[in-house]
Chain A
């Protein structure tokens, strides 16, 4: 229909594949998110540590440069599972803060402005909506966790040689799996909080608080009941327990059994999904 005609005409052109439509949400969300200069600066800051690690890996293999600096290669931190575990710990913290910044703006504006019926009156399901919104966080958090982690791993592999990669391939697996677990937990917590608390600042505070409150409550429970299971309520500890096990670090699973940590994470994810689907509906039933 040409603008000058100003009459209504239907649409009879091609349609996109139904499975790909959830990807529309992150595209529009990024457009709005990156309007915030603070967020862009913070995202840039998230790459400082991986950049530092890259420089460290490069220098630790550059013997001539080390000689100039008069540093013994043996005195440098060894690039092994522990090195990548520390990398993951730092980036996980950054991911946590980034989630608190981005998460509240995902679902709550749609709930505040009653936009959900507009999504769901189309051939677009609740699961696709959740997947679309969650993928915003998954993309962003992946960008600062396992993607640079894998780049560092590949960098180390290319500099250290084939024997190193054969001996340490499982580190790459640990980086990816551990990061994805953490990203999944953070994304679901952020989405659930964003759906239940419509005030963005409060939702952000709650996202930060969930981890701290869980940790505090777990410790209190351990102290009062004289048990160890309370630590399962600390989702950060659960995740780092899984990470330690994946990185085959000595002492992994000392506070919490790895299986218990996996169960605690799975339970938290299921609770978040349940909370999310309670709220993400085209209309609200008033009891």
Chain B
């Protein structure tokens, strides 16, 4: 899969302060999560990719286009949902989204049609003629999402899309992001400090800290790899149980009375464990797949750095 974003020694400085420091790497997932503690440089990275900030050294490429040389081209294929409240006063949602569509290059009629469509898509269909100033925070977030996708971008950059949303509104936003990803017509770059949002929507993460990339992981691969790690807890006489599992190709290690940690071989059927336990009249009290949550990955990345 060709990379969506490639970072080639990208650095950004504001005055004497280095905000992004020699970022290198590439990401190609359908939905890419950009994680990091506050002040890690997530928003600056997004702003640099969009050409709002100048790179002091290095460069980056979006779909192979250099951010320094092809700024306008990149902006034409990208949609951006800013973190802060952003709208145009005294405008109805449909006029606002239409205008944004026109500024992206859509002809007048097409922009109007698309504005109606995307407002229905994000769930603001019934409220599309209301002034933006009268919208609730959740509705404003949805309007921002609508303007980001009105022109059918290839890459949608979402900066903290669930900020300030109540649980139902957050769920709706997450569902929309997942649907857009599954539609397969665009890539998503989701910047958030909420690990759950990223975990629920993204299949690749880039973790930043103090302006550096501290971890880059493919969540899908990690999830697949996690399925091979199993922890079990038995009750009864487990003599020979570990050996029997080892004979079937599992790597076992005891971690206390009746507790075993195993790495299953590829293609191993978990039901074999139950069968072996039943043969030995051994009770299986617990069987867990190790699940390295994104939080574990994030914390590990933070610990590695510190």
Contact = CB atoms under 8 A, between A and B. Distances in A.
Interface string A89-110: 0000000000000000000011
Given A8-B149, A18-B105, A117 B89 contact: no
A41 interface: no
A257 B78 CA distance: 53
Interface residues of B, number: 49
A168 B296 CA distance: 84
**What's the dominant secondary structure at chain A's contact region?**
loop
A225 interface: no
A162 B82 CA distance: 62
Interface residues of A, number: 41
B95 A11 contact: no
Instruction: With a 10 A CB-CB cut-off, give which of A11, A120, A285, A287 has the most chain B CB atoms.
Output: A11
A287 B15 contact: yes
Given A8-B149, A32-B91, A117 B80 contact: yes
A131 to B, nearest CB: 13
B135 interface: no
B61 interface: no
B105 A113 contact: no
A123 B82 contact: no
B114 A11 contact: yes
B93 to A, nearest CB: 13
A68 interface: no
Given A15-B106, A115-B86, A120-B50, 4 more contacts: A2-B117, A11-B106, A12-B152, A122-B75
23 contacts: A6-B120, A7-B179, A8-B180, A8-B186, A9-B117, A10-B153, A10-B186, A11-B151, A11-B152, A13-B110, A15-B106, A16-B107, A115-B87, A115-B88, A117-B80, A117-B82, A118-B82, A118-B88, A118-B100, A120-B52, A122-B76, A123-B75, A123-B105
Interface of B: 14-15, 47, 50, 52-53, 72-73, 75-76, 78-80, 82, 84-91, 95, 99-100, 102-107, 110, 114, 116-117, 120-121, 125, 147, 149, 151-154, 179-180, 183, 185-186
The 8 closest A-B pairs by CB, nearest first: A11-B152, A10-B152, A121-B80, A15-B105, A282-B52, A109-B89, A123-B76, A114-B86
